[in-house]
Each structure stands twice: as C-alpha cells, then as structure tokens.
Chain A
Amino acid sequence: NAGVTQTPKFRILKIGQSMTLQCAQDMNHNYMYWYRQDPGMGLKLIYYSVGAGITDKGEVPNGYNVSRSTTEDFPLRLELAAPSQTSVYFCASSYWADTPDGTQYFGPGTRLLVL
C-alpha cells in the first residue's frame, strides 16, 4: 500500500493563479481531510469528506474548494491564489471516524508559496 499520496511536493504560484492539489489513498478509507499548517500554528481543517460525493467545510474553507467523485481521490482547488495561502497542505484519511482509535493517516504534504 502506498498509503496517502500528495502531488505536487512543492509549488510556487503567482497571486491570482489557480491550482489543484492532488490527494489519493489506496486504503479504501471513507473519511478524508485537508489541513493547512502554518509555522507555530498547528494544523487547521480546511475541508473534509465522509464518502464519495459528500464534502463539508472545516474551520478555514475560504479560498478553497473540494470534490470527491471517488473513494480514492480528494483534490483541493485553490482559486485566485493569495499570499495568505502560503502554507504546507496535508491530506489525511481514516477508516473509522467516531472511535478513539480512528487513526488519521497523513500524506507527506504539499508546500505552497504564493508570490
């Protein structure tokens, strides 16, 4: 199993450009999440999905969009990139969500710089 994979690893965007961060998992997990991590700020939830076709906003959704057409893939779309979106983005997935051992498995992250 590859686990959770993310592409690209690093990207530089100009202000106003758009891009899609890719996330895929091969563990047949229903639950998938997107977080962003800023220095000294921990991780903040952007969007999450409980299954194909079902997504919802997290704590910091503004400026982002998601879709979940398959169980495996959960892409994150940035429209009109802004410097405030400079961050490290992590995708995570889990099989169970509502149990104490519902482990979230994280991808390696995408580092995004908006200039």
Chain B
Amino acid sequence: QKEVEQDPGPLSVPEGAIVSLNCTYSNSAFQYFMWYRQYSRKGPELLMYTYSSGNKEDGRFTAQVDKSSKYISLFIRDSQPSDSATYLCAMKYAGGTSYGKLTFGQGTILTVHP
C-alpha cells in the first residue's frame, strides 16, 4: 500500500465549475500537508499548506484536512482555464529528524475548458 494515494484523473471540467481533488494517506505520523501545482514542463510550486484538521481558504482555493480519516482535499471554486495543471498533494512528518522530506501523491491532471 502506498503511503499517499491520489487519483491521477485526468479530470476535465468546464470553466466556472467547482473542482475537488483528494488524497488519502496511511501514516498517521504525517502532520503537515501541502498542495503543489505543476504546469506542463515546469517545476512544482507550492499552492497551499496546512497542518491542522479543518479548512483553510486562500482566494478561490480551500484546503481541507481530516486527520481522523487520513484524508485531505483541495477545492477550487470558479475554476479557470489557467487552473489547468497537475495538482500534487504532499505531506511530511513534524520534528527535527524529518528534514523536510516530502512524500507526494501521484498527481491529478486537471483541464478546465472554456
């Protein structure tokens, strides 16, 4: 069983739709959760991070964490063609010996068409 599972999609939605991206994880030692966005032939860039159960909003983006279910989500409201990218969930342990090492999901390819 992979430590982090993410549906690779691909996901295709019309402009303006609400998008839901999800990851599950098996290791309860993961404490910090991130979403990265990766445009085609580019490096990933951090979109949002969170570390507690609940919701965190940033503009059209909402990150949700449910530690009891080991489940994280990213919601995109009013999706735009510029949101078309691969979205990667990532997580890491807390504590001094983690050294910031990230464990990534497989990535979900999202296309928003006009």
Binding site for B on A (CB under 8 A): 4, 31, 33, 35, 40-45, 48, 50, 56, 58, 90, 92, 94, 96-104, 106-109
Contact = CB atoms under 8 A, between A and B. Distances in A.
Interface string B38-76: 000111111001110000000000000000000000000
A48 B44 contact: no
Given A42-B106, A42-B107, A109 B99 contact: no
B42 A98 contact: no
Interface of B: 4, 6, 8, 31-32, 41-46, 49-51, 88, 90, 94-96, 98-107
B98 A97 contact: yes
6 closest Cβ contacts across the A-B interface?
Answer: A97-B100, A106-B43, A42-B104, A100-B51, A100-B32, A43-B104
A42 B8 CA distance: 9
A34 to B, nearest CB: 11
Given A100-B32, A103-B46, A106-B45, A40 B102 contact: no
B43 A50 contact: no
A73 B43 CA distance: 18
Contact of B43 (A42, A56, A94, A108): A108
A33 B100 CA distance: 9
A45 to B, nearest CB: 6
- Majority SS of interface residues in chain B? loop
B101 A100 contact: no
Contacts of A109: 41-43
B27 to A, nearest CB: 13
A31 B43 contact: no
Contacts of A108: 42-43
A104 B44 CA distance: 9
Contact of B101 (A4, A48, A96, A107): A48
A100 B90 CA distance: 11
B106 A41 contact: yes
A88 B78 CA distance: 32
A42 B105 contact: yes
Given A106-B44, A108-B43, A94 B100 contact: yes
